[in-house]
């Protein structure tokens, strides 16, 4: 009897799994996806946008982790602004989905996003304070709340006495400061800065850069779109590269850099007979841009290794000379940008 039941039970289980296994798997996947989304403030899935015959975005999927600075890079006209406008619900994708904080993007999410567009400006004949209040209220802040926060920010950026000035009386850099405040005032979860430093002098650009880092520290996630690679290097944790409407590269900046390493080492040696050593080395390794200074007894060269394992070379070199310098060259974001875009173009 018992055996029969056991058999029956086993059949049942098998049957259940075979029928419902598919659904179970899907549910599990869905849960994983949810968890993945939870860690990301914003996820786009195969987002496609066409303008007439022109395709502005082709199946772009990105994941923007919470509390990070995400660099959105790409040449002019690649589709960055279109993607940003889709995130801001200014335009809508033809295909694909966008999730904000795990939920499908909806109009009420607007209040949780702060956007500093590349093409930006303010009402010229409106007073600074009034204008900032208006824009803050459009983002859903109450008037008194907005006033209080504006006062804080105006003091912070040292512009308290501009309240009753008209925008047309301010310089471009001054207006940019107001614009920055208006973008961050409603303490959005996601901030989108499109070329934030244009129009700022170096001193003020630095102030704004520090403010952006502060905002990240306070928990905001930031999308940062720019051509200025040195600021990408300084600020971004993650990057995505968009070229000709397609995402061609994304990930953690440090990992991308690792992946883009070409195993080139810059070596500096102190050695008596530099020429002979160099000849010796040239037979064994791939050496470029070598130079020997006989007076200083200094031999410099670049070394190309087949893999990133450099311990063998180091052991060999340390027996022959004093090693002054042995550095792996890590590509800059700029180099990665140019290389990826060029390979992509050459490939096509």
The secondary structure of residue 103, as a DSSP letter, is: E
Shortest distance, position 120 Cβ to another protein, whole Å: 6
Judged by CB under 8 A, which of 119, 161, 272, 296 binds another protein?
119
Angle in degrees, CA 149, 150, 155, rounded to 5: 100
Shortest distance, position 150 Cβ to another protein, whole Å: 16
| Of residues 129-158, those binding another protein (CB under 8 A) | 134-135, 137-139
Judged by CB under 8 A, which of 126, 159, 248, 264 binds another protein?
126
Q: Does 115 participate in binding another protein (rule CB under 8 A)?
A: yes
Q: Does 123 participate in binding another protein (rule CB under 8 A)?
A: yes
Looking at beta carbons only, is 190 or 317 nearer to another protein?
Answer: 190
Q: What x/- string results for residues 75 through 104 when contact with another protein is judged by CB under 8 A?
A: ----------x--xxx--------------
Shortest distance, position 137 Cβ to another protein, whole Å: 6
Q: Does 52 participate in binding another protein (rule CB under 8 A)?
A: yes
Q: Which helix (H) or strand (E) element contains residue 334? A: helix 333-347
Looking at beta carbons only, is 79 or 117 nearer to another protein?
Answer: 117
Q: What per-residue string of b and e applies to 31-44 under the rule 16 or more CB within 10 Å gives b? A: eeeeeebeebbbbb
Shortest distance, position 59 Cβ to another protein, whole Å: 19
Which stretch in 26-34, 108-116, 195-203, 213-221 sits in contact with another protein by CB under 8 A? 108-116
Q: Does 182 participate in binding another protein (rule CB under 8 A)?
A: yes
Q: State how far Cα 81 lies from the chain centre.
A: 14
Which stretch in 63-71, 72-80, 113-121, 274-282 sits in contact with another protein by CB under 8 A? 113-121
Beta bridge partners of 249: 241
Reference 326, options 263, 271, 265; nearest CA is: 265
Give the count of alpha carbons within 13 A of 339, CB side only: 13
Beta bridge partners of 40: 65
Is the torsion defined by CA of 164, 166, 169, 172 positive or negative?
positive
Please give the Cα distance from 295 to 272 (Å, whole number).
10
Q: What x/- string results for residues 249 through 288 when contact with another protein is judged by CB under 8 A?
A: ----------------------------------------
Report the Cα–Cα distance between both ends of the chain, in Å, rounded: 70
Judged by CB under 8 A, which of 18, 107, 289, 307 binds another protein?
107
Shortest distance, position 62 Cβ to another protein, whole Å: 19
Q: State how far Cα 259 lies from the chain centre.
A: 16
Shortest distance, position 260 Cβ to another protein, whole Å: 34
Q: Does 17 participate in binding another protein (rule CB under 8 A)?
A: no
Please give the Cα distance from 260 to 336 (Å, whole number).
7
Q: Does 113 participate in binding another protein (rule CB under 8 A)?
A: yes
Q: Which helix (H) or strand (E) element contains residue 21? A: helix 2-39
Which stretch in 19-27, 65-73, 120-128, 196-204 sits in contact with another protein by CB under 8 A? 120-128
Sheet holding 238-243, edge to edge: 113-116, 190-194, 221-225, 69-73, 238-243, 246-252
Which stretch in 26-34, 116-124, 158-166, 289-297 sits in contact with another protein by CB under 8 A? 116-124
DSSP codes, 212-270: HHHHHHTT-EEEEE-S-HHHHHHH-SEEEEEETTEEEEEEEHHHHHHHT---EEEEEEE
Looking at beta carbons only, is 9 or 51 nearer to another protein?
Answer: 51
For another protein, the binding residues (CB under 8 A) are 51-52, 85, 88-90, 107, 110, 113, 115, 117, 119-126, 134-135, 137-139, 179, 182
């Amino acid at each position: 009897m018992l055996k029969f039941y056991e058999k029956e039970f086993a059949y049942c289980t098998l049957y259940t799994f075979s029928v419902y296994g598919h659904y179970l798997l899907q549910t599990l996947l869905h849960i994983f996806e949810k968890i993945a989304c939870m860690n990301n403030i914003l996820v786009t899935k195969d987002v496609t946008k066409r303008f007439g015959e022109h395709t502005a975005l082709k199946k772009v999927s990105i994941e923007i982790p919470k509390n990070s600075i995400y660099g959105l890079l790409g040449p002019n006209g690649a589709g960055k602004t279109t993607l940003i406008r889709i995130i801001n619900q200014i335009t809508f994708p033809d295909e694909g989905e966008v999730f904000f904080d795990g939920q499908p993007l909806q109009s009420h999410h607007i209040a949780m996003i702060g956007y500093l567009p590349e093409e930006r400006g303010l009402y010229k004949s409106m007073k600074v304070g009034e204008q900032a209040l208006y824009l803050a209220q459009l983002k859903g802040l109450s008037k008194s709340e907005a006033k209080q926060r504006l006062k804080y920010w105006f003091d912070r950026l040292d512009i308290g006495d501009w309240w009753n000035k008209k925008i047309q009386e301010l310089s471009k850099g001054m207006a940019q400061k107001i614009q920055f405040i208006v973008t961050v005032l409603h303490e959005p979860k996601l901030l989108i800065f499109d070329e934030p430093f244009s129009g700022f002098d170096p001193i003020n650009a630095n102030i704004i850069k520090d403010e952006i880092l502060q905002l990240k520290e306070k928990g905001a996630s930031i999308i940062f779109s720019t051509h200025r690679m040195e600021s990408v290097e300084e600020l971004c944790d993650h990057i995505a590269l968009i070229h000709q409407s397609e995402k061609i590269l994304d990930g953690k900046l440090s990992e991308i850099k690792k992946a883009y390493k070409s195993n080139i080492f810059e070596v500096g040696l102190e050695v008596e007979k530099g020429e002979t050593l160099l000849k010796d080395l040239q037979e064994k390794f791939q050496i470029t841009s070598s130079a020997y200074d006989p007076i200083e007894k200094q031999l410099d060269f670049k070394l190309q290794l087949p893999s990133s394992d450099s311990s063998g070379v180091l052991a060999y070199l340390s027996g022959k000379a004093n090693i002054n310098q042995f550095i792996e060259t890590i590509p800059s974001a700029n180099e990665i940008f140019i290389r990826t875009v060029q390979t992509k173009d050459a490939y096509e």
